[in-house]
């Protein structure tokens, strides 16, 4: 029997989730829990169903069977009104940012507030400026257009927009993809800072070894329709499954692991 406390601590609960496209089975009876205030990463080969699973958690897609509960709400048979309300409790950052090119950065960040609140323009502007500040952007960036920004700044602005409605949950699809190592490093730390500062629960898809080793609390390996492993990177690094080994035995994986062991040894001594 689950305790009350456990139930409260599980912000997302997937039970026996199966997804097919025609004959192609993408998820086969997946069980997964996301705990409050953790940073959970989804990894797995291309086509392993990471994006589909994320889309199912945010009501953009439905599984063929199984149940998904988010923030205590069962997504199956959810009414339109309840869905509308629930969607405001999470923020999403898609891989390519999805900012509107014809709006300034500040207008982009204020957009969810314009759509979902009755706040006046001045207040919306102030909130947008604050969101930009917590993602590490200078105030003057607010007046710029997305095309004028670097890749790292675009990611930060998209994060600011995802945070516009003070969500409890944040979903990130490849938050550092396409960034040079310097900007990627900044975004890594930002993800953790946002969790610490705002108490967010974060689910992210990423291949970025720094994000995985330095930022994720737990990592879920998807493969062959199943969860092949789940744990911290250091726990996973000791598991034997081929889908898991793939991430550790490539040259980048080995380098990251050595770096981690080195760090751990330095901390012990
Ligand atoms: P990942 O994000 O892990 O690369 P996806 O979740 O995007 O994988 O896709 C998993 C599998 O499902 C892939 O084989 C993909 O081609 C297939 N797929 C995803 N969306 C659709 C769709 N709307 N229609 C048909 N097949 C799809
Ligand atoms: Mg994907």
The CB of 21 under 6 Å from ligand 1? The reply is yes
The C-alpha angle with vertex 75 and arms to 69 and 79, in degrees rounded to 5, equals 140
**CA of 27, nearest ligand number:** 1
Ligand 1 atom showing the smallest separation from residue 54 Cα: 6
Nearest atom, ligand 1, residue 48 CA: 3
More confident residue, 255 or 116: 116
Relative to the CA of 61, which ligand 1 atom is closest?
Answer: 23
Is any atom of ligand 1 closer than 6 Å to the C-beta of 228? no
- Residue 1: other Cβ atoms inside 10 A: 3
Read off the pLDDT of residues 93-103 as tens digits, 9 standing for 90 and up.
987 768 999 99
- Helix, strand, coil % in the chain, rounded to nearest 5: 45, 25, 30
Nearest to 111 by CA among 93, 97, 99: 99
Of the listed ligands, the closest to the CA of 22 is 1
How far does the centroid of ligand 1 lie from the alpha carbon of residue 86, in Å? 25
Alpha-carbon distance 102 to 240, whole Å? 49
Residue-wise pLDDT tens digits, 31-57: 999 999 999 999 998 899 999 999 999
Q: In degrees, to the nearest 5, what angle opens at C-alpha 53 toward C-alphas 49 and 55? A: 120
Tell me what pLDDT residue 183 has: 84
Which of 4-13, 143-152, 258-267 is the least confident region? 258-267
* Atom number in ligand 1 closest to CA 49: 6
Using CA positions, which residue lies closest to atom 13 of ligand 1? 47
The sign one gets for the Cα dihedral 221, 155, 162, 169 is: positive
CA atoms within 13 A of residue 68's CA, in its CB half-sphere: 23
Q: Is it the case that residue 4 has pLDDT exceeding 60? A: no
Report which DSSP code applies to 211: I
pLDDT digits (tens, 9 = 90+) for 106-150: 999 999 999 988 999 999 999 999 999 999 999 999 999 999 999
Q: What is the mean pLDDT of residues 153-158?
A: 94
Asked whether the predicted pLDDT for residue 3 surpasses 80, the reply is no
Nearest CA to ligand 1 atom 11: 47
What whole-number distance in Å separates Cα of residue 32 and Cα of residue 256? Answer: 26
3-state secondary structure of 27: strand
Q: How far apart are CA 145 and CA 234, in angstroms?
A: 41
- Between 25 and 238, where is the model more confident? 25
- Which 8-state DSSP code applies to residue 76? T
pLDDT(6) > 60: no
Q: Is the CB of 27 under 6 A from ligand 1?
A: no
pTM: 0.89
pLDDT (average), residues 77-96 = 92
* For residue 267, pLDDT beyond 70: no
- Confidence label for 223 from pLDDT (cuts 50, 70 and 90): very high
């Amino acid at each position: 029997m689950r305790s009350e406390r456990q139930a409260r601590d599980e912000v997302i609960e997937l039970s026996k989730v199966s997804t097919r496209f025609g004959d192609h089975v993408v998820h086969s009876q997946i069980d997964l829990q996301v705990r409050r205030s953790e940073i959970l990463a989804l990894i797995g080969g291309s086509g392993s169903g990471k994006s589909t699973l994320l889309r199912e958690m945010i009501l953009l897609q439905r599984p063929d069977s199984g149940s998904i509960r988010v923030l205590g709400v069962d997504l199956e048979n959810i009414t339109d009104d309840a869905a509308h309300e629930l969607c405001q409790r999470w923020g999403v950052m898609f891989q390519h940012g999805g900012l509107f090119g014809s709006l300034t950065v500040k207008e982009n960040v204020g957009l969810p507030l314009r759509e979902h609140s009755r706040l006046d323009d001045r207040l919306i502007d102030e909130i947008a400026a604050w969101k930009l500040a917590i993602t590490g952007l200078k105030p003057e960036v607010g007046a710029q257009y997305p095309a004028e920004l670097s890749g790292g700044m675009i990611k930060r602005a998209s994060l600011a927009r995802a945070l516009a409605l003070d969500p409890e949950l944040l979903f990130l699809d490849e938050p550092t993809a396409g960034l040079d190592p310097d900007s990627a490093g900044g975004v890594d730390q930002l993800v953790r800072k946002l969790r610490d500062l705002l108490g967010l629960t974060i689910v992210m898809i990423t291949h970025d070894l720094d994000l995985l080793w330095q930022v994720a609390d737990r990592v879920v390996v998807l493969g062959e329709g199943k969860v092949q492993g789940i744990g911290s990177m250091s726990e996973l690094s000791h598991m034997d499954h081929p889908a898991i080994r793939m991430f550790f035995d490539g040259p980048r994986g080995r380098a990251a692991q050595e770096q981690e062991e080195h760090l751990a040894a330095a901390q012990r001594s």
